[in-house]
Amino acid sequence: MKTIRIIPRLDIKGPNLVKGIHLEGLRVLGKPKQFAQFYYEHGADELFFQDVVASLYGRNNLNHLIEEMAKDIFIPITVGGGIRTLNDIENLLKSGADKVAINTAGVANPSFLKEASLRFGSSTIVGTIEAIKSTPSSYYAFTDNGREETGLEVVTWAQRMQDLGVGELVLTSVDKEGTGKGFDVDLIKNVVNAVSIPLIIHGGAGSINDFETLLEETSIDSIAAASVFHYETIKHINFEEHDFLVEGNLDFLKSGKELLSHKPVLITKLKDYLVRKEYNCRRND
């Protein structure tokens, strides 16, 4: 039986961890290092950091953050956002990243994916797909956090990236992302049936039941999620308002409200539940 990988996704804007819906409307939830350390200590299998404004500004700004994380966190770290050159990849790997996730630059120049895979190895290069439903049976890939159309049909693009040497794919349903309404199983099945490389699913998790449904209805064994973990973790982390003077929407963080669209859960509790359902998970016992 395959081991299920549970991967918190941390969207980073400037110095802050942020979260939105459909990859937009970002609100500050805290400091990424605090969340990352908490996830590491509570059973995360990997961490996925995404600089959500990197492609907009043409650079990834996470090197220093990843360097700090790698000192105390000893699970695989994937970093995405604004990676445009082989030098960008090399710098992130030197900072402590294990894998890099590429979207915009791969769409603009598919040969970049091949060059990166040949130089750094397929296991290091992750292709990301931001999928939006176009018709009841078709999905298209977008870039820049779901803002820019590519004209690429999702299954065709997933197969192309596999052929170019990408070793893993992250598939995000932009329609479902941040909503807590469950995963887009039709989208997932389409891509699962088309590629043989590992697939990480992201977008839609709102409760433990959503994870179980996805595992029951597909052959997926790797799931990335944000809100369903962040809004539980926030209860366990202390913050001071002066820590967030640089930028960001602090209204939710200061309000003390809970997210009504989700039933947040700790990773340890999720894994305990999945094990009871006879799924194989790594646990910190």
Which residues are known to be catalytic? 11, 130
**DSSP assignment of 10-79:** EEEETTEEEEEETTEEEEEEE-HHHHHHHHHHTT-S-EEEEETTHHHHTS---HHHHHHHTTT--S-EEE
Question: Helix axis angle, 185-192 relative to 154-163, nearest 10°?
Answer: 40
**Strand-pair category, 168-173 with 138-143:** unpaired
Structure tokens at 16: 């802050």
What are the residues facing 213 on neighbouring strands? none
CA distance 183 to 246: 34
CA distance 166 to 144: 20
CA distance 168 to 185: 19
